[in-house]
Amino acid sequence: TGGTAPVLSIGGSDVFLGDGEKTGSLSFITSDASYTGAYPDGIAGEIASVSETATGAAYGLAFYTGTPTDSNRGERVRINRNGDVGIGVTLPTRLLDVQRNTVGDIAAFRGSDAARELVITSSTTTSTGDTYTLNANSSNGVVAFATGSSERMRIDSTGNLLVGTTT
């Protein structure tokens, strides 16, 4: 139907919501014994509104999935209050923030219309690793490549390939 009235409305009744708590959710439940053995509630997937502050003043949307074999049902995707999307990241800080798993490659897309970056971090632990950045800046027509925090190569607005220098 048209208008502004919701067709389906699901909510919680908790008056005091803290960071990470759900205000309401839409759960997909199975009674399959192989799944309920790992998760007695049978929730195979869930979409939830999640508080993103200690006081419940801002909310994101989280998507949860699980499998019966690894018993790690959890949040897989988050759209935060600013519209940033995290895949494998519960608190995205960029337009698209992607982490394959807790140990592995991490990719993040960030920037404005004028300057866009793709940042890829490859690591064997979550605290160390090499960072590779591709920065496309439409305001000056430069595409730059960096390792760590140092620019190594660029293509300038006239098509020149510059290695080890920016001019």
Q: What is the pLDDT of residues 51-84, one digit of tens each?
A: 888 877 788 999 988 877 766 778 889 999 988 8
Residue pair 151/144 in contact (Cβ under 8 Å)? The answer is: yes
> Could you tell me the pLDDT band of residue 98, with boundaries at 50, 70 and 90?
confident
3-state secondary structure of 145: strand
CA distance 85 to 81: 10
* 19-28, 110-119, 121-130 — most confident range: 19-28
Which letter does DSSP use for residue 82 in this model?
A: T
pLDDT confidence band for 5 (50 / 70 / 90): low
pLDDT (mean) for 3-12? 58
List the alpha helices (DSSP H) in the chain: 33-36
pLDDT of residue 107: 58
Distance separating alpha carbons of residues 118 and 83, to the nearest angstrom: 18
Count CB neighbours of 80 within 10 A: 21
